[in-house]
Amino acid sequence: MSTERFRLHHFVLLALLAAAIVVPLFGQPYYTKLVARIVIFGLAAMSLDLVVGYAGLVSLGHAAYFGLGCYVAGTLPMAGVQGVFLVLPLAAVAAGLLGLVTGAVSLRASGLYFIFITLAFAQMAYYVAAGMRPLGGLDGFRLPAPTLLPGGLALNQPAVLLWFCLALLLAALWLGDRIVRSPFGHVLRAARDNRLKLAAVGLPAYPAQLAMYALSAALAGIAGACYANLTEFVAPASMSVFVSAEFLFMVILGGAGTLAGPVIGALAFVVLEQLLSAWSEHWMFWLGVLLVLRVLFLHRGLYGVIRR
């Protein structure tokens, strides 16, 4: 039975990987961008899963770090900086530092208080971005120039962006797996399950949770920089609470604490969004119904289904 589970689990993930590689070969930019959006959202959702699934911290503020990554990718070309090895690290550093500062405050609380504090910080970031008139204010601005890979390949080319983001996602999954399996990851899970017992053996939860929160924010910033190249547009909408809720929806739908689950959740979310929005203008209502059904009947999410 364990061998069958292994095969089904990896077959599904390899099928998704193969689809992401093959789709651009058909020369359909719309579908290539659609798959690139799934991959980017998968990276953002996986970053959120690091704190939701492994640290036990439900955040509604990750859109702030995602949106900050968008703004970094959008403003650096104005200063003549387009190289991917400058844009993405700077997006990660900016989002990680913001996560470190906001996390240092948010982690002083727990439960609902933590959720509301992260939401408050995200709303603050949203209104700061909306108030920046030189950058278009609430209307945003077009991406001045795309991020460039070595050799002059531009990330606004759908196939290039998809394959590059796919490589980023695989690297992030590998890194996340190494982290959660390390002693550091075991400390995080212990803090999630019982902070008092962890403190009793002399291991405070706060530093580990703060480090993971900052790392999660940095990954979300990288995803945001990629998203700016996908849409070729930057706006405060990328920092809205609805974006944070969408990321959390993907984590819950796919299965928290699994790393790959949120990626599957991102795939399901985008596909459902396309199908339901074509069927009804109230597609978000039906999406909410599906989320309720998932909580009631799929206790381990979609990832748990493929491991049966």
Q: Residues of the chain with pLDDT > 70: what percent?
A: 94
Instruction: Give the residue, 113 or 308, on which the prediction is more confident.
Output: 113
pLDDT, averaged across the chain: 88
d(CA 124, CA 30): 34
Mean pLDDT, residues 212-232 taken together: 96
Burial letters for 279-289: b for 16+ Cβ neighbours within 10 Å, e otherwise?
A: eeeebeeebee
pLDDT band at residue 302 under the 50/70/90 scheme: confident
Q: What is the pLDDT of residue 308?
A: 58
Q: What is the pLDDT of residue 1?
A: 37
CATH of the structural domain 2-306, one choice from 2.60.120, 3.40.1130, 1.10.3470, 3.30.1380:
1.10.3470
The lowest-confidence range among 14-23, 115-124, 173-182, 213-222 is 14-23
Amino acid at residue number 125: A
Contact assessment for residue 147 and residue 74, using Cβ atoms and an 8 Å cutoff? no
- The answer on pLDDT for 299 being more than 80 is no
The lowest-confidence range among 17-21, 117-121, 183-187, 304-308 is 304-308
Mean pLDDT, residues 195-210 taken together: 84
- Helix 29-52 / helix 158-181 crossing angle, nearest 10 deg: 20
Mean pLDDT, residues 221-247 taken together: 94
Mean pLDDT, residues 130-147 taken together: 92
Mean pLDDT, residues 7-36 taken together: 79
**Pairing relationship of beta strands 141-142 and 233-234 according to DSSP bridges:** antiparallel
Instruction: Give the residue, 298 or 21, on which the prediction is more confident.
Output: 21
